[in-house]
Structure 1
Amino acid sequence: MNLIVRVLLTAIAVVLLAKLLPGVAVEGFTSAIVVAIVIGVLNVFVKPILVILTLPITVVTLGLFLLVINAGIILLADNFIDGFTVTGFWVALLFSLLLSFLQSILFSVLKEDVR
């Protein structure tokens, strides 16, 4: 049940960011739910592999290269989903930062409601 709520909250964050950022577009809430699921799957399976493969450059850049990996995950999700569009790398980077920020806020509210 908690997973479904997290996916829905992420979809809401995706829709909000698509309205705010000029380079991001999502066709509807159904596409936003698919985006949330695909980003979650990519974060679980692809991101750890990329982090391990790029560990030397991540250490040299003091962890800032992880932002590039997050933007790459967003661009990869853009390639997989037809109803989701991100225009470029910098927009994907800003989208990933804002999505992480919104998710942390929304998930913290969810944890307070459970207690």
Structure 2
Amino acid sequence: MRVTAPRTGSTAASARSLPTRGATTSEPASVYVRSLIRSQLRLGITYALGFVGATAAFVLAIVLTPVLDETFVWGVPLSWLLLAVGIYPLAITVGVLYARAAARNEARYRALTEAP
């Protein structure tokens, strides 16, 4: 298989109509889609701000505890190890919680748009 540039006379990808998965173009459907988009945006911003706040609190707690800089584990200051290892579980937890909440939002959307 070889990837080539599009022909000059072809329709741009953005101008082509994309197939829809059973979605109608009625007013209630567009309201539901806009509502889902707003809901997902709110969710993303909330989780991003929560992650930034929790990370800042974690870093601030390490900075304000000077004994961590004086304690060494395998020749590395304990504060560095806490930063290196402590942020990953936080990021994974926030990511998992976000994915579950986003899936719940989409399930609610599907329940509203599916015919009874």
TM-score by length of 1: 0.32
Larger radius of gyration: 2
- Which one has a larger percent helix, Structure 1 or Structure 2? 1
- TM superposition score normalised by structure 2: 0.32
